[in-house]
Chain A
Amino acid sequence: MTGAMPPFSLSDLAGGDRAFPTGRRALVCFVKEDCHTCNLAAPVLQAFHNQWGDRADIWVVGQSAEGNHILIDRHGLTLPFLDDSSCKTSFAWDFEIVPAAFWTDAEGVAIARTEGFVRQEWQDLADRIAVDLDAPPAQIDWESLPKWQPGCGSKHLDPDINDRLQAEASNSPIRARRIEIGEADDIAEFMFDQGFSDGLPLVPPTPERVLRMLRGTPRGPQDIVAIVPPNMAPATVEKVAINAVMAGCRPEYLPVVIAALEAVCTDEFNMHGVAATTMGASPVLVVNGPIRNRIGMNMRLAALGTDNRANATIGRALRLVVRNVGGAKPGGVDRSTLSTPMKFTMCFAEWEEGSPWDPLHVERGFKREDSVVTAFAMTSGPVQIVDQESREPDQVAGSLGLGLEGVFLSKIHRMPVDALLVVCPEHAKSLLSAGPYSKTRLRDRIQEVTTRPLREMVANGVSGAGIPAASAAKMTAAQLESPAPKFASHDYIHIVVAGSDAGKFSAAFYGWATGAMGSASVSRKIEC
């Protein structure tokens, strides 16, 4: 930085205020005690002060109060030392290396500057000061000093400190309301009390953490990602980042959270209805494409379970945005009779490398190299489909079909309702054991093995659900014998591959009302 340097007011060691600009020419040199080169420069600065202190202000600005005392004692210094422990002035003056010396005029405009210790530069600086002040040169044995000695990185560039300073700076991208939590308050308890939590502890969304999170996306912090139901509240990238911090996300997960939020906040997905239904529905997120590996998502052993940070926190971040920004909370708009633990989080990646089929996103029209998140509105799952005996492909496919018959209620067929089938690698291998076995064939087999005569859907003494007896009475015998597969069409059967190599355990998620009546699955490309 050159030109007018930022004004400051800092305390000296006696507790007095020293304000810049001073009304006189000034040499302001930033140092830190544990820097060898700052220790080299300190006696030089003292010599400057001895020579010119009566006609210019020669000030040292130290980056820790304790360090200032140590430097003074170590070198027997008497020139003014100012305390910039907060590093705010260092940040504002925008240099990288200490010692950093700035020679300014009486109005605070920088005339010359140097960082580190290049002897010739310091000599030139001394000459310039002597000329400007029309004063004799300082008494320094320049030949006894090294020609060059590298400085140290300024403390204000330490990542933790720099994040704080950026968050506090006047041009900070942060716009959200800041909430001060008193020393005596427990932060975790405070956040529970404020109603920010899904029931589990949250990572405090400090400005520093949110700034780091925002670096995960090229999008501007105030860009609006989506209008979030049910309150139809705008969610900025910043608000998504705050909730992603609370959920425990790393910055590189943020683009997935953003794409997932875009997906669920569409008319097709109908997040209002998904959040509100007494049936208890939740978004289930499937991630495809290169980002799965880049951010370390789990698609193998325990893919639908715990212990993977990306899987766990991406789904949770989406949930937190929907509840905190959108306002969907149990007892409010969320009227779930029992609800589902999937509302905490449900996100996993497809093991494309182990799949014999096109991955989900390619089936849905994206390129294989695209990273894509797909949101399904699901009410139950994962429901295990256990078949350790079948070896014939049609047997395995048959068992997978029977495992899907429970959607809503097993007796109800021809359902216009989505199901998401997660085929485990062993089952996939068995399906392929006698040659190609396409997804279409698998869907055919699912429909085939779940086909029942319509009469089995008629309400009876076992279950009153299904076709009312009065309606059935008006149907012909042929109509009652007509075949009814589980699903109204192939389009409702979604298939992905995930899981570990060992185990013949596939799983299914059962849907909610699908389509215009309820929710349609939506895919969004992940921009990162």
Chain B
Amino acid sequence: MTTILDPTDERVPVERQITPRTGKVSGVIGLMDIRKPRGNVLLDELDRLLSARFPDAQVKRYEKPTFTKPCPTDLRQKIASECDFLVEALAD
């Protein structure tokens, strides 16, 4: 029998439940540009399509300061408090 020591952080990942799917889209839809080149092109088109299909929904736009770093906590909290849905767009 050989004993070795665990090289990982030993943390158990937090399990999060996926938000219930209602089959309807209403309220506020957030669109976040992570600031990759042409991310705005993709989101502009998405904005147009969503607004046409869900006229009662409101679309809000957000931007990360830079795509190279994680989203700042205050921005994440702002989005969570303002939106019912969020689309985060990668691009290039």
A residues in contact (CB < 8 Å) with B: 174, 176-183, 187, 191, 196, 204-207, 210, 228-231, 233-235, 238-239, 242-243, 246, 270, 272-273, 277, 320, 324-327, 513, 516-519
Contact = CB atoms under 8 A, between A and B. Distances in A.
Interface of B: 1-11, 66, 68-70
B10 A176 contact: yes
Contact of B5 (A179, A230, A272, A519): A179
B4 A204 contact: yes
Q: What are the 4 closest A-B residue pairs judged by CB atoms, nearest first?
A: A233-B9, A177-B6, A273-B68, A176-B5
Interface of A is mostly: mixed
Contact of A177 (B1, B2, B10, B69): B10
A187 B1 contact: no
A324 B70 contact: no
- Looking at B5, B10, B11, B70, the one whose CB has the most chain A CB atoms below 10 A away is B5
B68 A179 contact: no
Given A272-B70, A513-B68, A205 B7 contact: yes
Nearest to B68: A273
A233 B11 CA distance: 8
B2 A181 contact: yes
A272 B9 CA distance: 16
B7 A246 contact: yes
B84 to A, nearest CB: 27
Given A177-B10, A233-B11, A277-B68, A242 B2 contact: no
Given A270-B68, A273-B69, A518-B68, A205 B8 contact: no
A246 B9 CA distance: 15
Contacts of A187: 2, 4
Contacts of B66: 516-518
Given A272-B70, A517-B68, A181 B1 contact: yes
A325 B9 contact: yes
Given A233-B11, A270-B69, A517-B68, A180 B3 contact: yes
Contacts, number: 82
Interface centre among B1, B3, B10, B70 (most CB of A within 10 A): B3
B47 to A, nearest CB: 23
Contact of B4 (A191, A228, A230, A238): A191
A206 B11 contact: no
A242 B69 contact: no
Nearest to B11: A233
A180 B6 CA distance: 10
A243 B4 CA distance: 11
Contact of A239 (B3, B4, B7, B68): B7
Nearest to B35: A517
Nearest to A230: B70
A277 B68 CA distance: 7
Contacts of B69: 270, 272-273
Contacts of B2: 180-181, 187, 204, 206
A196 B68 CA distance: 26
Contacts of A326: 9
A107 to B, nearest CB: 35
25 contacts: A176-B5, A177-B10, A178-B3, A179-B3, A179-B4, A179-B6, A180-B1, A180-B2, A181-B1, A181-B3, A182-B1, A187-B2, A196-B7, A205-B7, A206-B2, A207-B3, A231-B9, A233-B9, A233-B11, A239-B7, A246-B7, A270-B69, A272-B70, A320-B7, A516-B66
